Amino acid sequence: MKILRNPKQKKVLYGIGLILLAAFPFLITNSYYLHVCISIGVYILLATSLNLVTGFAGQLSLGHAAFYGIGAYVGALLMLNFDVNFFLAMIASAVVSGLFGLLLGLPTLRLRGDYLAIVTLGFGEIVRLVFVNWAEVTRGPLGLPGIPSPSIFGFQISGRTAFYYLIIVLVLLTLFVMNRIVNSGVGMAMQTVKIDEIAAESIGIYPIKYKLIAFVVAAAFAGIAGCYYASYIAYISPTTFVYNTSVTILAMVVLGGLGSIPGSIIGAVILTLVPELLRFMSDYRMLIFGALMVFMMIFRPEGFWGASKRVKNIYKIKAGGGKNGSDSGDNQRHN
Amino acid sequence: MAQILETINATIKFGGLTAVNSVSITQEEGEILSLIGPNGAGKTTLFNLLTGVYRPTEGNIKFYGEEITGLKPHERVDKGISRTFQNIRLFHEMTVLENLLIANPDCHRESIWEAVFGGRKLRQKRQRVVEKCEGILKAIGLEDKLEELATNLPYGKQRLLEIGRALSTDPKLVLLDEPGAGMNSLEKEELSRLIYYITTDMKKNVLLIEHDMKFVMGISDRIVVLDHGEKIAEGKPEDIQNNPLVIEAYLGKGIPEDDDD
Amino acid sequence: MFTQQLMNGITVGGVYALIALGYTMVYGILKIVNFAHGDVFMMGMFLGMFFTQSLGLHYLIAFPLAAAATAFVGICIERIAYRPIRVADKLAVLISALGVSIFLQNLAMLVWGTETHTFNSGITVQTYRLGSVTLSNIQIGVIVLCCVLMIVLYVVVNKTKIGVAMRATSHSIVSAKLMGINTDRIISFTFGVGSVLACVAGILVGIYYDAVYPTIGYSYGLKAFAAAILGGIGSIPGAMLGGFVIGIVETFGAAYISSGYRDAFAFGILIIVLIFKPSGILGVKHVDKV
């Protein structure tokens, strides 16, 4: 990772990465690959947002798919029934999902570990049952077909290439926001809550506040992912927003490396690609996938890109009279 | 002298056990007050009552005359009470500097909007926080270790860092729970210098629990002795030293000269 | 109607209680949630079906064999997926458990296919009428077996030597080890017992509803887990109580309010109870030592 230490080289690398991402649809014309890329993008939104809750604030949530689903249904219903513009619908999705995050988090975030896990899991099940049973609005198990594509200033976004660019923009936006949050006082406060709540309280941090912030922000981004997904696939049904999806997202976060944004990205990429790559052995692929999860946890529990690789001074200010970046080599944690 | 801290008949029961029984103590502005007593006397429990980790079963706690009995721990920090722990509770996966930064109210009170959209103003605010923390790092003698992970520090330094973290909240009163435990005599000297620095230069008050009698007798203006959850004596160090009740509480051994715990 | 629903609720609740015991015992000892337990239940069901239907054994021989095989599965899960990471992060154990869960489900799909099987055990269902209440012999069997097994478990945990060892291990693995207890054996034993109970529950559900499929472990596992938490995880009487409460609440909810939301009632009551009593009905309040 030596090349990443120099900020200038880092910028060049990011630049090359961006150009590659932008050029991807021209290099690869197979639309199946584009579809896989878009799926990865959606999962990056979901995984990085869940990482804020589980990786940074240390709260185990097994109901992330519920917020994803709420966002999808809110977005789809607004676009279908009220002809709301996609981008407004997306904001509405974020707001409504975030509100549900607040609603669930407020009474339950003082519960410890496993208890919170089951409550979020139960919430996920309840939300799914509402999708299935509230047929007047959601059409129940039949789902909602014909969700329109977005349009910007009269230009219709349609076709996989356009959706590909849209998800790239959303991913970059999400990564920007997550990065800013994590490298701020709020993000640091979340981490203290994860490490030791009593110590955090002893320095004036109210744990529930930061758990709630993490929860609401994560829910809002899951909502955005849901709205995007609804518009991309054009059809949603309750079967997408199930417990298994929550588990897959959590697995991405944990396998990638808790408390690490690059980790969540890697987790999303790998867990989307592995089942696709194992497709040739279709019958055995999920079997192998399950076994891989176990082995990974035995042999590399910190994930592919654990938090131990995070940059040290997360406040991103060099101490020592405000000198900047003189010894960025020290910024990398030595393991 | 103004009274800064007062407990009135503070009592806490855990099931059948009365850990602290109707203890009333006061602390005046500017004085270093020490709590001593044998193991299990209820000293740390009293700290937990003062900092809000536990709610008293009965009794009241006042800070600068203001009733704080019902306040949560973080609200008491806002009022100006901070603490260290007997068994060090640093954020060990964070760096030395980060441990101080996060304790600064300007740091953790950043709003989410500020965090995401903040520009130069935010950077300036952060710079000020960093500078403040550097001042504290100098006082605790860790200014050359700021990028070190807390967990990699030697034990004595970890204790100092925890005191630094408590100072970083900009408190009026610092509660130190056995700050000298596990320190060698050199480190203890450093510690007493730091405590004097906190009280005289930084103009903060210190309430401490300590087992090392030499240390306590040397540094305290006044001492409160607890035994079995009750206050059995209170007074100047020399009075405490000769108090028969206190000697008895320490199981007739006399006051241990150098109980390093 | 009311009594009938109550009996139905108790039947389902008994099954949940049996599965919940597995969760709660493992949690009591290792402080981890065995998220694969629902799939152990499913395996027990399939193994019961396999020994009776496929091998044509009499159920009196087949069911004990199935229970033993399920116990073996449970012990293997602990050995392979939990033991190597027992001391590590809780989340690592959780992910490992989810991996096991995916593995078992897909294993069952490979071996038995994804379709729903009938459970032909050789036991014929008979119904009895008691006034307005209809009870089947299976229902009576479920209730009786649940009660008997719970009493047996209570006696084992509280009155036998291995029970004392279990309680000691649950108190502190380190101290138990120092006292000369073979804690690894106790842990295996706990997984074994939990799996046997799950297998019994699986066979009972299989016969009662006459439907066996690979993903059945999911909903039963979740609700039993909810039951364990509701009662206070780590508490054996709590798991039993939680199981019956969840069973009765969901049966009444489905009967009187809306059948589509059957599962929502179980989780709804769980969330409400936890908000007001975070440690569950019979759970011990957790005090952080400072």
- Percent of chain B beyond pLDDT 70? 95
What's the rounded Cα separation, in Å, for the pair A114 and C86? 16
pLDDT of residue C288: 56
Residue C244, C-beta contacts closer than 8 angstroms, at least 6 positions apart? C9, C10, C13, C14, C16, C17
Return the closest-CA partner of residue C54 out of C117, C138, C105, C107.
C117
Q: At what angle do helices B96-103 and B120-139 cross, to 10 degrees?
A: 110
When pLDDT is averaged across residues A313-335 and rounded to a whole number, the result is 43
pLDDT at A334 exceeding the cut of 70: no
Residue A331 has pLDDT above 60, yes or no: no
Average pLDDT over residues A28-40: 87
Nearest to B110 by CA among A94, A170, A316: A316
Give residue-wise pLDDT tens across range A283-316: 777 788 888 888 888 888 777 776 654 555 556 5
Kindly determine whether residue C287 and residue B14, on different chains, have CB atoms separated by under 8 Å: yes
| Residue A116 domain flag | yes
Which phi and psi (to 5°) does residue B107 adopt? -80, -55
- Least CB-CB distance to C98: which of A198, A247, A258? A247
Q: Nearest residue on chain A to C259, judged by CA atoms? A: A133
One DSSP character per residue, A301-333 reads TT-TT-GGGSBS-TT----STT--STTGGGGBP
> Do the Cβ atoms of C96 and A122 come within 8 Å?
no
**Is B120 part of the contact surface with chain A (CB cutoff 8 Å)?**
no
With a CB cutoff of 8 Å and minimum separation 6, the contacts of C11 are: C139, C142, C143, C208, C247
Residues 224-243 of C with CB under 8 A from A: 225-226, 229, 233
- Chain A: residue nearest C264 by CA? A126
Q: What is the number of CB-based contacts under 8 A between chain A and chain B? A: 121
Using the Cβ of C135 and the Cβ atoms of chain A, whether some distance falls under 8 Å is answered with: no
Report the C-alpha gap between B142 and B103 in whole angstroms. Answer: 16
User: Hey, are the CB atoms on B74 and A204 less than 8 Å from each other?
Assistant: yes
Beta bridge partners of B117: none
The pair of structure tokens assigned to A156 is 């219709």
Please give the residue that has the higher pLDDT: either A104 or C121.
A104
- A253 occurs within a structural domain: no
Contacts of A121 in chain C (CB under 8 A): 222, 267
Task: Please indicate if any CB of chain B lies within 8 Å of the CB of C87.
Answer: no
Domain limits at A148? 36-243
Instruction: Look at A154-163, A191-200, B185-194, B215-224 and tell me which has the smallest mean pLDDT.
Output: A154-163
Q: Which residues contact B179 (CB under 8 A, 6 or more apart)?
A: B84, B159, B163, B191, B195, B208, B210
Q: Which residue of A has its CA nearest to B107?
A: A185
Contacts 24+ apart (CB under 8 A), B188-192: B188/B212, B188/B215, B190/B141, B190/B160, B191/B159, B191/B160, B191/B215, B192/B218, B192/B219
Contact B155, B182 (CB under 8 A): yes
Per domain, the residue ranges of chain C are 2-276
Instruction: Answer yes or no: are the C-beta atoms of A223 and A135 closer than 8 Å.
Output: no
Nearest alpha-carbon partner for C226 in A246, A101, A124, A242? A124
Q: Please name the fold of domain C2-276.
A: ABC transporter involved in vitamin B12 uptake, BtuC (1.10.3470)
The answer to whether residues A150 and A89 touch, using CB atoms and an 8 Å cutoff, is: no
Q: How is A96-122 classified by DSSP, letter by letter?
A: HHHHHHHHHHHHHTTS-HHHHHHHHHH
Nearest Cα neighbor of C37 from C186, C190, C212 is C190
Q: What gap in Å lies between CA B248 and CA B213, rounded to an integer? A: 15
Helices (H), chain C: 2-30, 37-49, 59-77, 90-112, 137-159, 161-171, 173-178, 183-209, 216-231, 236-252, 262-276
**At A6, which helix (H) or strand (E)?**
none
Distance in Å, alpha carbon of B27 to nearest chain C alpha carbon: 23
In Å, what is the CA distance from C156 to each residue of A308, B11, C41, C151, C179? 45, 42, 22, 9, 20
Residue percentage of chain A with pLDDT more than 70:
89
Hey, are the CB atoms on A114 and C27 less than 8 Å from each other? yes
In this model, does residue C261 exceed pLDDT 70? yes
The span from the CA of A164 to the CA of A158, in Å, is 10
Residue B53 sits at the chain C interface (C-beta within 8 Å): yes
A325 interaction partners in chain B (CB closer than 8 Å): none
Bigger pLDDT: A17 vs A155: A17
| Measured distance CA(C224)–CA(C218) in Å, rounded | 10
Give which of A198, A203, A258 to mutate to test B binding, by max B Cβ within 10 Å: A203
Enumerate domains of chain B plus CATH numbers.
Answer: 1-80+171-180+202-261 (3.40.50.300), 87-170 (3.40.50.300)
Would residue B133 be called left, alpha or beta, if left means φ above 0 and alpha means ψ between -120 and 50 degrees?
alpha
ipTM over 0.90: no
Q: What is the DSSP code string of C236-290?
A: HHHHHHHHHHHHHHHHHIIIII-GGGHHHHHHHHHHHHHHH-TT-SSPPPP----
Most confident segment among A68-72, A142-146, A326-330, C121-125: A68-72
| Amino acid A91: pLDDT | 96
Alpha carbon distance A269, A37 (integer Å): 9
Q: Which of C92, C218, C261 sits opposite A297 (nearest CB)?
A: C92
Q: How many domains does chain A have?
A: 1
Minimal C-alpha gap between C272 and chain A (Å):
9
Query: Residues with Cβ < 8 Å from B247, sequence gap 6 or more?
Result: B254, B255
CB contact under 8 A, C110 and A111: no
Select from B44, B48, B112 the residue whose CB has the most chain A CBs within 10 Å, as the one to mutate to test that interface: B112
Q: Is C178 on the interface with B (CB under 8 A)?
A: no
Q: Cβ–Cβ of A108/C271 closer than 8 Å?
A: yes
Cβ-Cβ contacts under 8 Å, C287 against chain B = 14
Looking at A183-206, list the stretches that DSSP marks H as alpha helix, in order from N- to C-terminal side. Answer: 185-195, 197-202
Integer Cα distance of C284 and A149 in angstroms = 53
Q: Is residue A307 part of a domain?
A: no
Cα–Cα distance, A162 to A183 (Å, whole number): 32
List all residues of chain C from 259 to 288 with a beta carbon under 8 Å from chain B: 287
Q: Which amino acid is at C16?
A: Y
Name the residue facing B130 among A217, A307, A319 (closest C-beta). A319
The pLDDT tens digits for B216-256 are: 888 899 999 888 888 888 888 888 888 888 877 775 554 55
The residue behind tokens 């087949």 is C62
pLDDT in tens, C204-221: 999 888 889 998 998 899
Q: List alpha helices for chain B, DSSP H.
A: 43-51, 73-79, 96-103, 105-108, 112-117, 120-139, 155-168, 185-196, 213-219, 237-241, 244-249
- Residues C290, B53: C-beta atoms closer than 8 Å: yes
Proportion of chain C above pLDDT 70, given as a percent: 96
Residue of chain B minimizing CA distance to C288: B53
**Residue C129: Cβ within 10 Å count:** 8
**Coil/strand/helix, residue B78:** helix
Cβ–Cβ under 8 Å, residues A51 and A249: no
Structural domain includes residue A327 = no
pLDDT above 50 (res A325): no
Q: How high is the pLDDT of residue A321?
A: 43
Reported confidence tier of residue C88, pLDDT bands at 50, 70, 90:
low
Q: Which residue does chain B place closest to A321, by CA atoms?
A: B131
- Chain C residues whose CB is inside 8 A of the A255 CB are 95
Tell me the per-residue pLDDT of B12-49, one tens digit each, with 9 for 90 and over: 988 788 888 888 999 989 889 999 888 888 889 999 99
Q: Which residues in chain A have their CB less than 8 angstroms from residue B126's CB?
A: 315, 317
Q: What is the pLDDT of residue C32?
A: 84
pLDDT, average across residues B96-118: 89
CA C144, distance to chain mean position in Å, is 16
Q: From the candidates A188, A202, A217, A316, which should be mutated to test the interface with B, based on the most B CB atoms within 10 A?
A: A202
- Return the number of other C-beta atoms located less than 10 Å from residue C117's C-beta: 18
pLDDT value for A308:
58
pLDDT score of B194: 92
